[in-house]
């Protein structure tokens, strides 16, 4: 069998993108999806995304982790699927789409995508870390000497630790650069490794840093391993709204996989 696909990346977070408006792709074929994402025997990606039809929306986003399992919201994947929809001429400069965590709005200009995320309703803090859900669950901690950390070791320790080992958690370490900029590194569950960028992770870091008074800015730059993202938001008394994840996207190539 053959499958036409496209490869997209957003600040180094890369995805296999498939137009599944016909509904013929087998979403239950976990080994096939994992094969697509395998960097040695397949295409290689942090995840696979299906673009599908959805009444009342421009399209629907269905996201799978690199392990082949359908997962929670992916911020950079959401930005990339907007660029894909633009390429397919489904949208002009604005989009309204449905993802696993609900509806999203987006704007695109020359491949730069601004994606509206869900409101962040709860944030739990301790003296050492923060936990919040930005479409996916995230652990955030400040770590000096960020470049020297082995994220695959340190991230895995937290990802599988109590109280997170039932469903796991994404792990983000951040380091303050200036009043509005933080460096960030992320270990993603489902990928089970560090990724060059994570959109929901960048969103989590930005809000956690504001919440813990590390910054007074409501527009924060996040320097990932794969490039720069920007997160904007409006704080309320106990939640955050108007959350926007912004950054570049790129179509890398188009090909067919035969199996």
State the catalytic residues: 74, 198
* Backbone phi, psi, residue 201, to 5°: -70, -45
* DSSP strand pairing (123-125 vs 130-133): antiparallel
CA-nearest of 37, 29, 80 to 59 is 80
Which residues share a beta bridge with 105? 96
**Secondary-structure breakdown of the chain: helix, strand, coil percentages, each rounded to the nearest 5:** 20, 45, 35
Whether 245 and 79 have beta carbons less than 8 Å apart is answered as yes
Instruction: Please give the Cα distance from 142 to 145 (Å, whole number).
Output: 10
Three-point CA angle 72, 74, 77, nearest 5°: 140
CA-nearest of 1, 5, 37, 2 to 255 is 5
Other C-beta atoms closer than 10 Å to the C-beta of 247 total 26
For the purposes of burial, counting CB atoms within 10 Å of the CB of 39, is it exposed (0-12), middle (13-18) or buried (19 or more)?
Answer: exposed
């Amino acid at each position: 069998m053959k499958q036409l696909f496209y490869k997209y990346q957003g600040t180094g977070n890369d995805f296999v993108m498939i137009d599944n408006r016909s509904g013929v792709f087998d979403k239950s074929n976990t080994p096939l999806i994992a094969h697509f994402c395998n960097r040695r025997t397949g295409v290689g990606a942090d995840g696979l995304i299906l673009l599908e039809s959805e009444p009342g929306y421009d399209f629907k986003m269905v996201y799978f982790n690199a392990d082949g399992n359908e997962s929670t919201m992916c911020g950079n994947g959401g930005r990339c699927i907007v660029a894909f929809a633009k390429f397919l001429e489904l949208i002009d400069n604005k989009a309204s789409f449905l993802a696993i965590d609900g509806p999203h709005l987006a704007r695109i200009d020359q491949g730069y995508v601004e994606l509206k995320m869900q409101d962040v309703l709860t944030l739990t803090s301790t003296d050492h870390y923060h936990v919040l859900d930005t479409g996916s669950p995230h652990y955030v901690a400040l770590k000096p000497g960020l470049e020297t950390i082995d994220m695959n070791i340190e991230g895995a320790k937290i990802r599988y630790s109590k109280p997170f080992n039932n469903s796991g958690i994404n792990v983000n370490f951040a380091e303050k650069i200036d009043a509005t900029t933080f460096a960030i590194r992320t270990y993603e569950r489902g990928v089970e490794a560090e990724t060059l960028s994570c959109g929901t992770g960048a969103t989590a870091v930005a809000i956690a840093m504001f919440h813990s008074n590390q910054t007074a800015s409501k527009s924060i730059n996040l320097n990932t391993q794969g490039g720069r993202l920007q997160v904007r938001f409006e704080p309320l008394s106990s939640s955050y709204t108007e959350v926007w994840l912004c950054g570049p996207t790129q179509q890398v190539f188009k090909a067919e996989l035969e199996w």
